[in-house]
Amino acid sequence: MLIPFSANYQLYTGSGSVESNCQGVLFINVGTDTVTVLGFAMAQGQQLAVPCNIGEVDRTNYNIVFANATTDQRLLVIRKNY
């Protein structure tokens, strides 16, 4: 049985809060600055996935913190919704 879903892509360019409201979220550091999500420091190109099972909804507000204000700050956030 196929279960349809949609993906929402959003680019963040500075420190702040990311509201999930989804059934899975993927953080990808596409900039050159180190970014911290959930206490994990992510260098350029690194990813952090927070998956959910079908029927679960992640309502977390994730705090993202970039290390240096003068560098390339870009975090791609991909949310999956059923």
Q: What is the pLDDT of residues 11-27, one digit of tens each?
A: 999 999 999 999 999 99
At 3, the pLDDT band (50, 70, 90 cuts) reads confident
Q: Kindly write down the DSSP assignment for every residue of 35-48, as one continuous string.
A: EEETTEEE-TT-EE
pLDDT at 54: 84
Report helix, strand or coil for 50. strand
Contact present, 49 and 77 (Cβ < 8 Å): no
What residue segments make up the domains of the chain, in order of their start?
6-81
CATH number of 6-81: 2.60.120.10
Q: Give the model's pLDDT for residue 70.
A: 84
pTM score of the predicted model:
0.93
Instruction: Compute the Cα dihedral for 23, 50, 65, 79 and give only its sign.
Output: negative
* 32-76 per-position pLDDT tens digit: 999 999 999 999 999 999 999 888 999 999 999 999 988 899 999
- In 3D space, the residue among 73, 63, 60, 62 whose CA is nearest the CA of residue 29 turns out to be 73
